[in-house]
A and B are shown apart, each in its own frame.
Chain A
């Protein structure tokens, strides 16, 4: 026998009455109360806040892992918008004639300024939409606020966003655009884009747990959404009659505001206001329905 034969009956007994070196002072109120939640569930922001480091680590993991074992690595974050820019310049800018309707802005940077938030948004809702299902092993084994998972997926996309942003600044200088104070609006826009992506991503990810159809519908939704957003065309190209319908797409106001911020054009505050309002509505609805569905995640994922 390789084990040391040290145990004796006396030893066993002493084990069974462990010494309490420091008597624990228990709090008056329970730290955690587990019970069936009401149908309307509070957001529990305090809980979310105490797990903020996990959000960081999950996003950090996604970033670290994303370009592992790829030949081009982070260059993918540049290649994707760059190639899309080139192709769309050729097709929409030249052949489609959108190039003449951009109000004097060279079409390549016009389209890149739209692609920047769009690529971020599209990737963010795709990855966060699939994030819960992909994290089934976490959900069934450990407790933490589940919103962290789709949230981290969005946050991880920000890295690619900033890499592409640096490229855009280079392009702006190349095309000799003057940067104006409007650029101050830029961080606010990034924040709103991320909020919108979180709202949509949360809702989709929760729905995906229950209905795996979401996974198949997502690429399709993303594609349609791109065409109704002013990525390749300026929104003033649309007939006035239908402008209001396009304004219902929260990305419309946001993408246009990106352009006015980058190119120093006047901002359409009404459109941006509508977008901001819609973003908040989507975020509230997304988190509400997420919390409602969250209860059964571990049982059905």
Chain B
């Protein structure tokens, strides 16, 4: 089949500081100009490559009409840059993209919404910005309003809307675009669970209509649900491209182990007091490797390594696990008699305590872990404490043997334990 999107050796170079130091001043330009000849001399032996980074490096892929392709990767892997190039927001440095259909890109919902304008006015404005013709917007107007569920407030300035209403209206406009190619970035990361569901359903609809969709998200379940094919980006290149479950599984193994491990090599800088100093906190998977990407079906251990500087206290480790919305999933501390009573209070030196989170307890998502070391004896005293110090992502490959079983949709709750279900046989005689 002839591809509808053809990307060939696409590369994009940024000058370092270009994105951070957003703009120069005229004075700098003039000073620059004066120094330019000198700098050129210097650059002959130095290298200009030092001042640039490649956000995309020779990216090539093709997408067939009707395909729904997910794009995943860590922050800075080049996903956003790729989308920006495909949406023609920024130009590539090298390479060619050929698009054989009309493109609409949704890098944000509500782009160009003006708070002073009414819902009705914003529908037309936003429609025009997204490339809809006025006649088209008029034709779909009632449908858009119905989808957004803000009929009553359609002639109220959107500045009086609640966040939810605003988002619903914004997404409603976007959802009624009818391009041949739809490029979507993280729009589902906003709004409440109901709204996210609605968005996902709509996206699924779009996909089923045979249109081509490129979908970038951190929302792994959504990606696996919507996209048969996934492209994994790493360091600006395509690291993997294929079946979504396989790629998603591989994504786990490319864990950068950045947040899964925190160490304090200098004791004076470590969190704690003159009795206890934290030295390391690690997240380990079922096989003992330090990782921030965990299969929902494996055990997770959080390891707290600390120095006991002064003897005399009975110490306990503790942790709090929060999800990415800041909601506490659970907390736990080692205040159990068996570990308190037998403690050697004369001990000083390094100690490692770890907490095991059972398999099939967590739900999919990103979690942060805060840890503490307490002394419990006539009340609890906190000796060392550090908030959101490590983190991990839990992923469910949906192979049928996790807590969700064969169900593939979204699940409610901050944890999703695998519980025992029994169904009693019908009681006869009733």
Instruction: Kindly supply a per-residue 1/0 record for chain B positions 29-65, scoring 1 wherever the CB is within 8 Å of any chain A CB and 0 otherwise.
Output: 1000000000000000000000000000000000001
In the bound complex, do residue A18 and residue B208 qualify as a contact, i.e. CB atoms below 8 Å apart?
yes
A33 near B97 with CB under 8 A, answer: yes
Determine whether A95 belongs to the interface, using a CB cutoff of 8 Å to chain B: no
Residue of chain A at shortest CB distance from B2 = A26
Give the distance in Å from the alpha carbon of A23 to the alpha carbon of B1 in the complex. Answer: 11
B215 at the interface (CB under 8 A from A): no
- Give A72-116 interface residues, CB cut-off 8 Å to B: none
Q: What is the CB-to-nearest-CB distance from A24 to chain B, in angstroms, rounded to a whole number?
A: 4
Contact B88 A1 (CB under 8 A): no
Assess whether B4 is in contact with A301, with CB atoms less than 8 Å apart.
no
Q: Which residue of B lies closest to A50 (CB)?
A: B131
- Cβ of B387 within 8 Å of any chain A Cβ, yes or no, is no
Does A181 touch B at the CB level, under 8 Å?
Answer: no
Report whether over half of chain B's contact residues are helix, strand or loop; otherwise say mixed. loop
User: Is the CB of A15 closer than 8 A to any CB of chain B?
Assistant: yes
* Chain A residue with the shortest CB-CB distance to B15: A299
> Using a Cβ–Cβ cut-off of 8 Å, how many residues does chain B contribute to the interface with A?
73
How many whole Å from B310's CB to the nearest CB in chain A?
Answer: 50
Residue of A3, A32, A140, A211 near B26 (CB, 8 A) is A211
Which residues of B sit under 8 angstroms from A211, Cβ to Cβ?
23-26, 29
Instruction: Kindly state the separation between the CA atoms of A64 and B209 in the bound complex, as whole angstroms.
Output: 38
In the complex, A241 has a CB within 8 A of chain B: no
When distances are taken between beta carbons in the complex, the residues of chain A under 8 Å from B112 are: 137-138, 142
Instruction: Write the nearest CB–CB distance from B26 to chain A, whole angstroms.
Output: 4
Q: Give B111 Cβ to nearest chain A Cβ, in Å.
A: 5
The reply to whether B23 and A209 contact each other, CB–CB distance below 8 Å, is yes
Find out whether the CB atom of A24 lies under 8 angstroms from the CB atom of B89.
no
- The stretch from B99-107, B147-155, B348-356, B370-378 touching chain A is B99-107
Q: Which residues of A contact B410 (CB under 8 A)?
A: 3
Q: Which residues of A contact B345 (CB under 8 A)?
A: none
Is the CB–CB distance between B125 and A61 below 8 Å? yes
- Tell which of B79-87, B257-265, B296-304 binds the partner: B79-87
Instruction: Give the segment of B268-276, B318-326, B327-335, B401-409 that binds chain A.
Output: B401-409
With A18-B207, A65-B117 as contacts: A36 and B93 at CB distance below 8 Å? yes
How far does the Cβ of B406 sit from chain A's closest Cβ, in whole Å?
5
Measured between beta carbons, the chain A residues less than 8 angstroms from B2 are 26
How many Å from the CB of B205 to the closest CB on chain A? 10
Interface size on A, as a range, is 35 or more
Inter-chain contacts of B228 with A (CB < 8 A): 16-17
- Cα-based distance from A298 to B22 in the complex (angstroms): 10
Contact of A34 among B4, B24, B92, B208 (CB under 8 A): B92
From B24, B111, B134, A137 is in contact (CB under 8 Å) with B111
Q: How far is the CA of A213 from the CA of B89 in the complex (A)?
A: 25
Q: Is B98 an interface residue (CB 8 A)?
A: yes
Is the pair B101, A34 in contact by a Cβ cutoff of 8 Å? no
Q: Which residues of chain A are within 8 angstroms of B208 by Cβ–Cβ distance?
A: 15, 18-19
- Are the C-beta atoms of A33 and B98 separated by less than 8 Å? yes
Chain A residues whose C-beta falls within 8 Å of the C-beta of B124 in the assembled complex: 57
- Indicate whether A69 sits within 8 Å of B111 (C-beta atoms), given known contacts A141-B89, A211-B24, A211-B25: no
Q: How many A-B residue pairs have CB under 8 A?
A: 175
Say if the beta carbon of B256 comes within 8 Å of chain A: no
Task: Indicate if the CB atoms of B23 and A212 lie closer than 8 Å.
Answer: yes
Tell me, in angstroms, the Cα distance from A141 to B412 when the chains sit together: 32
On chain B, the residues within 8 Å of A58 by CB distance are 125, 128
B139 within 8 A of partner (CB): no
- Are B412 and A18 in contact, CB atoms less than 8 angstroms apart? no
The distance in angstroms between the C-alpha atoms of A137 and B115, with both chains bound, is 14
- Bound together, the chains give a CA A295 to CA B89 distance in angstroms of 9
Chain A, Cβ-Cβ closest to B29: A211
B241 at the interface (CB under 8 A from A): no
Report Cα–Cα, A32/B209, bound state, in Å.
22
Mark contacts of B4-15 with chain A using CB atoms, 8 A cut-off: 1 yes-contact digit, 0 otherwise.
101000000010
List, in ascending order, chain A residues with CB within 8 A of B19's CB: 299
A35 to B398, CA, bound (A): 39
Interface membership of A268, Cβ < 8 A: no
Also in contact, A34 and B86, with CB within 8 A (given A2-B412, A18-B66, A212-B23): yes
Most buried by B among A12, A32, A213: A32
Contact of A300 among B18, B25, B66, B107 (CB under 8 A): B18
The answer to whether B210 and A53 have CB atoms under 8 Å apart is no
Known contacts A20-B66, A26-B4; A35 and B111 CB within 8 A of each other: no
Chain B CB within 10 Å, residue with most, of A9, A20, A57, A139 = A57
Once the chains bind, are A20 and B107 in contact (CB under 8 Å)?
Answer: no
Given contacts A3-B410, A35-B95, A299-B14, contact A144 B131 (CB under 8 A): yes
A169 at the binding interface (Cβ < 8 Å)? no
Proximity bits, A150-172, B CB within 8 Å = 1, else 0: 00000000000000000000000
Nearest CB of chain A from residue B138's CB, rounded to whole Å: 12
A240 proximal to B (CB < 8 A) = no
Measured between beta carbons, the chain B residues less than 8 angstroms from A37 are 91
Interface positions of A from 1 to 41, Cβ below 8 Å from B: 1-9, 11-12, 15-24, 26-27, 30-37
**Top 8 A-B pairs, shortest CB-CB distance:** A30-B98, A34-B97, A143-B88, A57-B128, A16-B228, A20-B210, A213-B26, A32-B99
20 pairs, A vs B, C-beta closer than 8 Å: A9-B400, A12-B225, A12-B408, A17-B228, A18-B207, A18-B210, A23-B65, A24-B101, A24-B180, A31-B101, A34-B97, A34-B98, A36-B95, A37-B91, A60-B125, A65-B114, A144-B129, A144-B131, A211-B23, A211-B29
Q: Beyond the given A1-B412, A33-B96, could you list 19 further A-B residue pairs with CB under 8 A, ordered by the A residue number? A: A12-B406, A18-B66, A18-B207, A19-B208, A32-B88, A32-B103, A33-B99, A34-B86, A53-B133, A56-B128, A58-B128, A61-B117, A137-B111, A138-B129, A139-B89, A141-B111, A142-B112, A144-B129, A299-B18
